[in-house]
Amino acid sequence: MNDALQAWLRQQLGAALRSHSPVGGGCIHSAWMLQLADGRRVFVKCNRAAALPLLEAEADGLAALAAVAPAELLLPTPLACARVGDQAVLVLSWLDLKPRGDDRDWSRLGQSLARLHRRSLAQGAGQGRFGWQRDNFIGSTPQINAWHDDWGAFFVERRLRHQLRQAPASARRLAGTERLLLRVSSLLAAHQPEPVLVHGDLWSGNAALLPGDTAAIYDPAVYRGDREVDLAMARLFGGFPAAFFSGYEQEWPLPPGARERVDVYNLYHLLNHANLFGGGYWQQVEACIQLLISREVPG
């Protein structure tokens, strides 16, 4: 919090900085809780100046989700985003998170996500196509969102193939990738989802409960896609409680075959983690590839 950044924050927020403290949990940006002289608290993310596109994409995604979120599902509000000296800075409204709640809390979160997905259909952006008006990021990896009329082709080309092309740069040779892409195309050929606005990176670290029967989601990687991608990732990396999924299905049941598509959709995130972090993620990727190649295509 150098003088230039403090001066910029005061100009943007209309109040002086009283104190600041680091907030843990992220692996890309440094994060801070700021206490302002007028009593407000805000959340600030900082990184090197070159990372400004990541923060701009995050602000764009939060605003898009907030426009269709039901009242009980909150998102941090982008308050300012800019390059300040040699830093990129994003200022968000502060959310008071509460400890893990009970099944009723998580069921309500599932219902709220279903309402967000359904409400986004009425928005009509994209005119029935899959993608987004800009590329953004999944973690720190560029996420390609060029519009496509066909969901299966979009997922194969914009998601899986894009990640697979990066594997050699990670000194990893994966066997059977073309067979994999053909099999995924076959597995998704008969699936014709509606292009809802998805969070895109909905693992358990990007959602939380709030006081007063509300919940929040954040750190999105938005695009218009199959709503099942959010439900699939919610099962990855520890996953959400079962009540979350039952709550979602009470509000908007999933179509037949959804559980079989979980591995298809989560391969994208496993590939991304392997490309970013290496290690045991590659073994998970290889196992998932072989599982999908061997899977029988529905007749």
**Last residue within a domain, chosen from 93, 111, 130:** 93
- Do both 88 and 135 map to the same domain? no
Two tokens, residue 93:
């409204």
Two tokens, residue 138:
């999944």
- Do both 257 and 280 map to the same domain? yes
- Do both 40 and 116 map to the same domain? no
Q: What's the pLDDT at 244?
A: 97
Helix, strand or coil for residue 209? strand
Q: Are strands 41-48 and 73-74 parallel, antiparallel or unpaired?
A: unpaired
Among candidate residues 161, 162, 163, 134, the one with its CA nearest the CA of residue 147: 134
What is the total count of domains within the chain? Answer: 2
Say if 43 falls within a structural domain: yes
Two tokens, residue 101:
């709640």
Q: What's the pLDDT at 171?
A: 65
Two tokens, residue 165:
């092309």
Alpha carbon dihedral 257, 258, 259, 262, in 10-degree steps, equals: 120
Chunked into runs of 10 residues, the chain (299 residues) has average pLDDT values of 86 90 80 92 95 97 97 96 94 86 91 97 82 96 97 98 85 86 96 96 93 92 98 92 97 96 98 93 95 84
Say if 98 falls within a structural domain: no
- Do both 51 and 129 map to the same domain? no
**Annotated active-site positions, please?**
201
Which residue range(s) make up the domain with 283?
A: 103-294
What's the rounded Cα separation, in Å, for the pair 169 and 276?
Answer: 11
Q: How far are the Cα atoms of 79, 106, 262 from residue 178, in angstroms, in the given order?
A: 44, 39, 20
Q: What's the pLDDT at 299?
A: 61
Domain CATH code at residue 60: 3.30.200.20
- Do both 212 and 81 map to the same domain? no
